[in-house]
Amino acid sequence: MLVVQLACPKCGFVIEQYPAEQLETDSQKQKRYQYLRKKQTLCPSCLTQTSKLEERRVEAQAGAEASVLAAAQAPAEAGAPEADEGPTPFCDELGRGPWPSHVRELRRTRYHMQMYEEALRLRQTQWGFGGYVSLPGVAAGLAVRASARPEIAKGANFLRILPPGGSFYSTETLGKVCDIADRYAYGLLHLHSTGGNIEILGIPTEQLKEVVSALNAQGLDVGSTGDAYRNTVECVGPARCDATLIDTLGIRDAWYRRFLDDVQFPRFPHKLKIKISGCPNDCTRSVQKSCIALIGVFRDAPKIDHERLAAWVEGGGDAAHIARMCPPRALDWDGRRLAIDQEACTHCMYCINKCPAIRPGDDRGVAVLVGGKLRGKYGPLLGRVLVPFVPLAPPEYRELFDLLHRIDEVFDEHARRKERLGDFLFRIGMDQFSRLVGIEPSAHQMAEPRSNVFYHWAAGPPGSDAAEV
Amino acid sequence: MPGIGVAPMEANLPPIVRRNYGAWVWHEVIRPGVLKHVSKSGEACFTVRAGMPPNARVSTALARRICEVANRFCGGYLRITRRHSLELVGVAEAELGAAIAALREIGLAVGGADRTFHNIVCCTGWIHCQFAATDAPAIAKAISDGLWEDFQSEGYPAKLKISIAACVNQCGEGSTADIGVIGIHRDLPRVNDAEVAKCEVPLIVSICPTGAIRPKPPKSVQVDPRRCIHCVACVGQCVGMPIGDPETDGVAIYVGGKAGNQGSGPAFGKLAIPYLPNRPPRWPEVVQAVTGIIGVWTKGARRDERIGDWISRIGWERFFDKTGLPVSDKHLDGYVLWPMAARTGVRFRW
C-alpha cells in the first residue's frame, strides 16, 4: 500500500500519514492534507517549528506506522518518579490554609515540585515553548511542552480526553482514567480544563500514542486541540435542571455523531469553539467564550401557576421584590395577583429562577450566536445573534447542524489564518457574514439598526454566489 | 485510533437522572452547597456540591478517594460542574450529613451554591504553562482561603464568581466572572533572530493586532515598543519570541463580568485595577483588593444584584468613589474599541 507521509525536515519524524488512495478520494482528508502542507507545525519529537514539512511516498505494510514511530524516537524515558531534591518553602506556604491545596495534590504525584517551586521563587514560569501536535493517526488531542529547566525536569506532554455528556462520570469511567494516568504519566489529572476536557499531564513523548491506544481500549477518545472544532461544553440540561429549555445532552451527542471528524482532524483557519446552554442563564458562559453559542430560548410568555404562587407567598416568598427587580419591568404585583406584560418580557429567566410558581413557556428552540471569544486580534468580544430561533428536530437536528456546517464552511473558506471567528466577523461585518451564510435578516439579530449610511449595494441576496463583495 | 467519539451518555448518568430525564420541575438550595431537585413524579434528587483544589488539579489518589465516596453515597456516579466543583448527584436525604462529613474527611468543603462565593475557575499558571505572567492556582488558593467561610454560608446579595487567568490568552477566563484576576506582561517579546528564522515571518507580522511587528531582513522581525500592547499573539506562534520579566509581570483586576441574561445582561468584566505586582506565594495585594471590592459590593448591593448589575445601577463614578480605587489613563480604552467605552451623553452621577 502506498502511503503519503508528512515528516519533520530536521529529524525525519513522521507527523502524519495517509494511504495514497484515501487521499485521492476523501475530501476531508484532502483538506486536512492541504492545511498541514501550509501550516506551521511543531514537531513533537525535536520540538522544532517548521513551516515546510517534507513529503514522502513510501510503500508500507499494515501496522507499519507503529514501527515508523518507534524508529523515529529516542529510547523511552522511564516514567518512574524522581525524588525531588531541595527545600520548597513557597510550596509549603501554599499547602497551608483551609482550602484544598493544589500543592498537596501535586505532591501526591510524580510532578516535579522544583519546577513549580522555582517558578514561585523566581516569579517566572519555568516551562518552555510547546503546542498542539499531531501523530500519525492521532491528529488532535495531544500537546507537547518543552522545559526551560531541563536539569530539573524534561518537557512534559499532555493529552485531552473527550468527556462524557454533561460531565457526568461513573466512578468506573473515572477509575479507568486514573489507572492510565498512574501507569503512563505523573498520576495527575486536570479535572477539567476550562474547555471541559480531562487532561492527563506528564506523558513521555514516545508513549503518547500508546496512551491513546490504551484510552481507546477503554472506550475513551481524545481530541479537542489545534485548529479544529473543540469539545462542546454543555450545561447539565434535562439531566438535572428544571430551567432548561432544550435537550443539551442530546444535542451534544448528535453533534458529535455528525462532527466528530472535524473535532479530531484540524483543518480550519483557527479553532472553533461551540458551547450549548439550556436556557438564557447561560451556565456554560457560551456568549462570552465560544465562536458558536447555542442557547435555549422560548418565545411565548412565562407561565404563572397562581395557586402555587399564593402558597409560595404564604411560605415567605417575596413576590414584590421579584416584580421590582424584573429587568424590563414586565411584572406587576398588586399584593394578590402577579401579571406579566408580554410585550415587555425579554424572557431573561430572572423570575423563573427565583419563583417556583413561574415556569418557562412551551414554544422552545435554540438561538445561534457567533463570534464570542476572549483573546485574538480584537480582544474579548461577546457573541452576536445570528439566528434568533431555530426549531429543534431530534434525533438528528438536521436544520440546526446544517446551519452550523454552513457557518464553518464560510469560516474555512474566507477567514485568514489564525483568525478567530469573532475577529473574522469584526473584519467583514455582520451584514456580509449573514449574506455568506445565507441568513434571512431579522430584527432579533440586532440591538438596533445601523446609524451610518455606508452599505454594500453590490452584494447579491443571502446565500447566493454574488453574496460576497 | 480516533473515531470512537464520546462515551455513550447513558452509561455515565446516575439512575435517578435516567428515570427523571427532562422531568424536573423545581429546585431549591436547602443548605449551602446542597441542592434539592424535584421531578414531575415527585421524586427528589439531592446533590452535594464541593469545592475542588485550584485549577481542578486532582491527583489520582484524591480522584480515587472521591470515587470511593461516590460509590458509598450515590451509587458510583459524580459530576464536575462548569465551575469545576464536584457534585455527588442522588445522595439519599438521610445520608446528606454523612456524605458532607465524608467529603470533609478527604479535604473538600461543601458549599458554593446560590448566594455564596463559588468555586474559582483558573488556568494552570506556572504549574505547566509557557505564557503565564502570574500563577493563577496560587492566587486562587490565597483568595479561597480568605473566603473559606463565605463559600459555606450564604452572606452575599447574589452569587459571587471569581475567575483567574494567568495571561491575556485567558484560558482561565478572567473576563467572564464577577471578579477577574488576569496576569499581564509589560515587557516586549525578546526576538531571537536565529529562532525566528525557523518560523513563518509573514504569519507573525500579520497576527500582530497593532502592526507593531515588522520584518527585519534577512529573516527576522522587530517589535515597535510604542505600538506593542503585550497581547502575546506572536509569542504563541513562534519559538523565537519569548516574553516575561519577573520585575514587571503582574496582574490586573476586572469586575462585573457575567454571562446570564438577568439584570444588565451578559457583559465582560471591566478594568478596576490596571496593575498589581507578583508577590508569591500569597499575593497579599491581590487578595486585599479582591476582598475590598467584595466588601463594598456586599454593603451596597440590593438582593439579587451581582457586581455588574450593582455597578450599572450606581455607575462607575460611584464604584471608584466607594472602593477608593484610583482612576488612571489605563482605564480609558485606547484600543480599536475605544469609542464604545467612551461616554457620549452627559447623564453623570456625581
Go through the domains of chain B in sequence order and give each one's CATH number.
9-105 (3.30.70.3340), 121-186+246-342 (3.30.413.10)
Give me the DSSP letters along B12-75: GS-HHHHHTTT-EEEEEEEETTEEEEEETTS-EEEEEEE--SGGGEEEHHHHHHHHHHHHHHHT
A11 at B interface, C-beta within 8 A: no
Q: Where in chain A is the domain with CATH 3.30.413.10?
A: 253-296+365-445
Q: What is the DSSP letter of A445?
A: G
Answer whether B10's CB lies under 8 Å from A262's CB.
no
Percent of chain B with pLDDT over 70: 97
Helices of type H across A39-112: 64-72, 89-95, 102-107
Answer whether B242's CB lies under 8 Å from B196's CB.
no
Q: Rounded distance, CA A455 to CA B212, Å? A: 31
Q: Residue holding cell 531541563?
A: A150
How many beta-carbon pairs below 8 A join chains A and B? 366
Whole-number pLDDT of residue A2:
86
Tell how far CA A40 is from the center of its chain: 22
A63 at B interface, C-beta within 8 A: no
CB contact under 8 A, B22 and A238: yes
Q: Rounded distance, CA A208 to CA A57, Å? A: 25
Q: Residue holding cell 519570541?
A: B241
Q: What sign results for the dihedral spanned by CA atoms B96, B97, B99, B104?
A: positive
Interface of A with B in 172-211 (CB under 8 A): 172-175, 177-178, 181-182, 187-196, 201
**Distance in angstroms between the alpha carbons of the first and the last residue of chain B:** 64
pLDDT tens digits, residue range B222-254? 999 999 999 998 998 888 999 999 999 999 999
A386 at B interface, C-beta within 8 A: no
**Distance in angstroms between the alpha carbons of the first and the last residue of chain A:** 46
Q: Rounded distance, CA A383 to CA A366, Å? A: 14
Q: Which residues pair with A130 in a beta bridge?
A: A145
Per residue of chain A (469 residues), give pLDDT as tens. 888 888 888 888 888 888 888 888 887 778 888 888 777 788 877 877 777 888 888 887 654 444 434 433 333 333 434 445 789 999 999 999 999 999 999 999 999 999 999 999 999 999 998 888 888 888 899 999 999 999 999 889 999 999 999 999 999 999 999 999 999 999 999 988 999 999 999 999 889 989 999 999 999 999 999 999 999 999 999 999 999 999 999 999 999 999 999 999 999 999 999 999 999 999 999 999 999 999 999 999 999 999 999 999 999 999 999 999 999 999 999 998 999 999 999 999 999 999 999 999 999 999 999 999 998 788 899 999 999 999 999 999 999 999 999 999 999 999 998 899 999 998 898 888 999 999 988 999 988 898 888 887 887 777 676 666 5
Q: Where in chain A is the domain with CATH 3.30.70.2500?
A: 77-226
CB neighbour burial string for B132-171, b if at least 16 within 10 angstroms, e if fewer: bbbbbbbbbbbbbbbbeebbbebebbbbbbbbbbbbbbbb
> How many C-beta neighbours within 10 Å does residue A217 have?
11
Whole-number pLDDT of residue A48:
79
Answer whether B256's CB lies under 8 Å from B265's CB.
no
Q: Rounded distance, CA A443 to CA A454, Å? A: 19
Alpha-carbon Rg for chain A in angstroms: 26
Q: Which residues contact A276 (CB under 8 A, 6 or more apart)?
A: A232, A233, A234, A235, A237, A246, A248, A251, A252, A255, A284, A286, A294
Work out whether strand B44-50 and strand B86-91 pair parallel, antiparallel, or are unpaired: antiparallel
Q: Which residues contact B118 (CB under 8 A, 6 or more apart)?
A: B83, B85, B112, B151, B159, B160, B161, B162
Q: Where in chain A is the domain with CATH 3.30.70.20?
A: 303-359
Which of the following CATH numbers is that of domain A77-226: 3.30.2270.10, 3.40.120.10, 1.10.10.60, 3.30.70.2500? 3.30.70.2500
Topology classification of domain A253-296+365-445:
Sulfite Reductase Hemoprotein; domain 1 (3.30.413)
Whole-number pLDDT of residue B337:
58
pLDDT tens digits, residue range B278-335? 999 999 999 999 999 999 999 999 999 999 999 999 999 999 999 999 999 999 887 7
Q: Which residues of B touch A256 (CB under 8 A)?
A: 5-6
Q: What is the DSSP letter of B226?
A: T
Nearest by CB: A235 against B66, B71, B82: B82
CB contact under 8 A, B7 and A121: no
Q: What is this structure's pTM?
A: 0.91
Whole-number pLDDT of residue A24:
85
- Counting Cα atoms < 13 Å in the Cβ hemisphere of A31 gives 15
Low-confidence ranges of chain B (pLDDT < 50): none
Q: Which residues contact B7 (CB under 8 A, 6 or more apart)?
A: A162, A163, A164, A165, A173, A219, A220
Q: Rounded distance, CA B209 to CA B20, Å? A: 50
Cell of A213: 491506544
For chain A, the maximum distance between any two Cα atoms, rounded to a whole number of angstroms, is: 83
Whole-number pLDDT of residue B4:
86
| CATH class entry, domain A303-359 | alpha beta
CB contact under 8 A, B7 and A173: yes
Closest CA to B124 of B85, B180, B173: B173
B185 at A interface, C-beta within 8 A: no
Closest CA to B279 of B84, B134, B164: B134
CB contact under 8 A, B129 and A125: yes
Closest CA to B275 of B325, B335, B339: B325
SS3 category, A28: helix
Whole-number pLDDT of residue A13:
83
Q: Searching chain A, which residue's CA lies closest to the CA of residue B67? A: A171
